[in-house]
Amino acid sequence: MRLALFDLDNTLLRGDSDFAWAEFLIGKGVLPKAAQHAKNRKFMADYEAGTLDMDEFLAFQLAPLAAHPRATLDAWHEEFMAEKVRPMIARAARERVDEHRLAGHLCALVTATNSFVTGPIAREFGIPHLIATVPACERGAFTGKARGVPAFRSGKVARVEDWLEAQGLYWGSFAESWFYSDSHNDLPLLEKVRHPVAVNPDARLAGIAAGRGWETIKLC
């Protein structure tokens, strides 16, 4: 068996879906422009610096989900896919996913971005499994809170291992494994696979990848 794991933002996408979703809601007037735009940019800068407070970020990111009916959110997400997400997908990213998928590898999208935002994106790529931060629901409505461990930094490793265990698998089940990521925040999962791949890497990851002889590529 072979395992292929993919980060999403700035890896398979030419941009960040979390950031783009917030900007999309600001553009629709759902969120107030001045304050929310500044917060969105600050969270992005903190993520890039490796100083992101995940609890604070999730409170910001998940609050709009709790404020609107699911049908409205789903309709907005369809617009978001057409206007923001599909233009961020490069042919090379689709081709690399298809290479693993058509070879019969077990494929999963592993992202800190919440599953409401990323579920349709995983389906767009034809990736059958999604490991993402889960927004909690009660009676079909989002609560504005996260459920379980966020899929962020070492949380990605924990969530992947739980997913494998639920299928009767573990790291040793695979003759080969890959993880594609752009960010130094993903070092814990990159270090777990046999073939870590730095994709459009940030400066810190680029230096680590060069020093360790990891493959470095561009997909977008």
Residues tagged active-site? 7, 9
Amino acid (one-letter) located at 153: R
Amino acid at 85: V
Classify 12 as helix, strand or coil.
coil
User: Which of 198, 177, 184, 115 lies closest to 150, judged by CA?
Assistant: 115
CA angle 93, 98, 100 (to 5 degrees): 105
- Which 8-state DSSP code applies to residue 83? I
CA distance 4 to 25: 32
Question: Are residues 99 and 2 in contact, defined by beta-carbon separation less than 8 angstroms?
Answer: no
**Which helix H or strand E contains 165, and what residues bound it?**
helix 154-166
Cβ neighbours for 38, distance < 8 A, ≥ 6 positions apart: none
Name the helix (H) or strand (E) containing 135: strand 129-138
CA-nearest of 18, 9, 26, 27 to 88 is: 9
